[in-house]
A and B are shown apart, each in its own frame.
Chain A
């Protein structure tokens, strides 16, 4: 305790150090709010016209909800069974030549049965479906996905109150229950029926000047359903469609829709029923624009906290007063880490809500994130700052010279992040940087989860990191601890 107190007295009493940490917090707040004031979104002819933004799903996240829906009302409990007799599609101008429209299905093209709380985009649903390349699935409420038997073409969906069960079968005799899910608050009357969706064909290729170029191409799928158990009259809706955005293919060759003949229902659709990603708009992470500048300041202060002692010979006074070298080096690390954490936490806890409010108040759309995610970004960014401070301090304790230590800390934490997120490196290299370097800790800022059931390249450039948030912080913590341990061993052995 006396060591911590002594080191805190040192930290607060040298001109510039505490001011630097307060400055780092001010930079986060200032640049965050400034960035928020700098953004204006405007759509249409008139300045300030509202922009369309993605619908939100039952748990609040932004979603894509665009598909062809052939439906009829169901009041109370009921079951629907159908056989997917045929499932085909087209992909417009895919690689390698990009010169023709080819037949084929994208891996996550979907055709199947669905129960949905009306036809409003974003409303609750549960579905059982066949896919282009991922077998049968049971999916509900946009984020949830469960795999069923691969070869089955018979599908069944039954509703019992708020519980929906999905089944698949290869022969209509042996049925496998894929999953039973609850849709809380599902009303008495729902829409039940057939659906088809076909997400864009997305590819990423290496850019000529590094980085990767992500391309999305229009696709469309057509499913033929027979042996449909439900009778009665069908209604068709192209849910979530924006007529103004339709492609030439839809306008002049094959519109989405449905036809029925001899008990066979043919449904053509495009779009996707899935969580929206970073392409849906900016996230709250955007308001942390000042973090890099703050990290630079924190690195300089943390390095000087130890190298200034070596430069002036003050380390001998320190070690004469506190002869346990390992303990005093660790106490110093704890003090700089704690001080930076507090400054960082104050900054992020004020900046994110405030800058987010400014953005929204100015008519901008931010992709919604759950409160837990917001708290994780706030606390996690402060931990990122604190661990970076400890790492920089430890590098300073090893090198004992300020300039090389600052340079190395920047090289370890900031440079990999910038390389990985600015389209300089191929995606694979960028992802490895974000796994093994101290910059892995930036994963704590990822606002939106990556979903395996969405066929999109999730790259660091788009704000998706290969490690989970806390694992990323652990990588940085491990680096900091290892270098600190090395500094302790070296300092113990050497003459001061």
Chain B
């Protein structure tokens, strides 16, 4: 089972500020799609719109051809990591995953599987309030993997990871894509995605600047880093 993430013509305003201005791209299965742009480019807003958390004023966002809020047991279609700090400090990591599992009709067995996979098993029964940012990112990845979804969407998953964690995250994302999953990863630093993204969507000011495969971008600009700098020049101004 594969599910493509398709975003088409998204518009979104927050008051006078235009957050999304015709955002359109597709994240195909079987590859890591880098979602790259400066802070404020609309990456997080796009992801929130895909999850049905924010309402777009125009356009559509589909996961495997369906609106996310229409999905039955949505975490089994799309796993997302939006904010690793969104944890109740007085609840253990394991119980955090357990309520999510229960919400999808899954059991504790699945919780222990994903904890094992992310190396969180030993600390999972401790209160989440004591977790480092790296542990929270790993717990967030566990939550995204809980429903064994064919598509994953991760917002800045490298934040707060130590070098060892960055290496682990890269190999995990590469493996997940190799299994045929759709993996959409946002970052404001091109370097983090350098070796793993097969497909890159550069965004700025709420719209796509360029979407292409890694190979064609490398051929054109010499490296993804160079492509990033060239394409996002002047787009980084804070709004």
> Which residues from chain A sit less than 8 Å from chain B, CB to CB?
2-3, 5-7, 9-10, 13-16, 308-309, 312-314, 316-317, 319-324, 495-496
Contact = CB atoms under 8 A, between A and B. Distances in A.
Given A3-B103, A7-B99, A496-B54, A323 B74 contact: yes
Main SS class of interface, A:
helix
A316 B74 CA distance: 13
Interface stretch (B79-87, B203-211, B219-227, B229-237): B79-87
Contact of B98 (A2, A9, A317, A323): A9
Contact of A308 (B52, B68, B88, B127): B88
5 contacts: A2-B103, A9-B99, A13-B92, A13-B96, A313-B83
A411 B85 CA distance: 33
Which of B53, B55, B82 has most A Cβ within 10 Å? B53
Q: Which 5 A-B pairs have the closest CB atoms?
A: A15-B90, A13-B95, A6-B103, A323-B69, A9-B99
A317 B48 contact: no
A6 B88 contact: no
Given A5-B103, A16-B90, A495-B48, 4 more contacts: A6-B103, A308-B88, A313-B85, A323-B74
Interface of B: 48, 51-55, 68-69, 71, 74-75, 80, 82-83, 85-92, 95-96, 98-100, 102-105, 127, 143
A320 B80 contact: yes
B127 A323 contact: no
A15 B48 CA distance: 29
Contact of B52 (A3, A15, A313, A319): A319
A321 B86 contact: no
Given A312-B86, A319-B53, A324-B69, A2 B100 contact: no
A321 B74 contact: yes
A317 B100 CA distance: 9
Contacts of A316: 48, 51, 53, 82-83, 86
Given A308-B88, A316-B83, A321-B74, A2 B53 contact: no
Nearest to B100: A321
Given A2-B104, A15-B90, A321-B104, A10 B99 contact: yes
A308 B96 CA distance: 14
A322 B143 CA distance: 14
A321 B48 CA distance: 13
Contacts of B127: 15
A13 B83 contact: no
A54 B48 CA distance: 70
B142 to A, nearest CB: 12
B53 A495 contact: yes
A496 B98 CA distance: 22
B90 A14 contact: yes
Contacts of B68: 323
A253 to B, nearest CB: 74
Given A313-B86, A319-B53, A320-B82, A2 B102 contact: yes
B88 A312 contact: yes
A236 B82 CA distance: 90
Contacts of B82: 316-317, 320
Which of B51, B95, B103 has most A Cβ within 10 Å? B103
Which of B51, B87, B104, B127 has most A Cβ within 10 Å? B51
A16 B95 CA distance: 14
A424 to B, nearest CB: 39
A276 to B, nearest CB: 51
Contacts of B69: 323-324
A314 B103 CA distance: 14
Contacts of A495: 48, 53-55
B98 A13 contact: yes
A308 B91 CA distance: 12
A14 B89 CA distance: 8
A7 B100 CA distance: 9
Contacts of A308: 88
Nearest to A16: B90
A16 B88 CA distance: 12
Nearest to B68: A323
A5 B54 CA distance: 26
A143 to B, nearest CB: 53
A454 to B, nearest CB: 54
A317 B143 CA distance: 9
B86 A6 contact: no
A320 B49 CA distance: 11
A496 B53 contact: yes
Contacts of A314: 86-88
B73 to A, nearest CB: 8
A15 B127 CA distance: 9
A321 B71 CA distance: 10
Contacts of B98: 9, 13
A314 B85 CA distance: 8
Which of A5, A15, A317 has most B Cβ within 10 Å? A317
A306 B129 CA distance: 18
Contacts of B88: 10, 14, 308-309, 312, 314
Contacts of A6: 99-100, 102-103
Which of B55, B75, B100, B105 has most A Cβ within 10 Å? B100
B53 A312 contact: no
Contacts of B71: 323
A323 B86 contact: no
B51 A320 contact: yes
Contacts of A320: 51-53, 74-75, 80, 82
A495 B45 CA distance: 10
B143 A14 contact: no
A15 B104 contact: no
Nearest to B103: A6
Contact of A13 (B52, B74, B91, B103): B91
A254 B103 CA distance: 81
A115 B85 CA distance: 80
A6 B95 CA distance: 10
B139 to A, nearest CB: 11
A240 to B, nearest CB: 62
A133 B95 CA distance: 70
A326 to B, nearest CB: 12
A3 B105 CA distance: 9
Which of B74, B86, B95, B96 has most A Cβ within 10 Å? B86
B103 A322 contact: yes
Contacts of A319: 51-53
Contacts of B55: 495
A330 to B, nearest CB: 14
A345 B82 CA distance: 41
Contacts of A10: 88, 91, 99
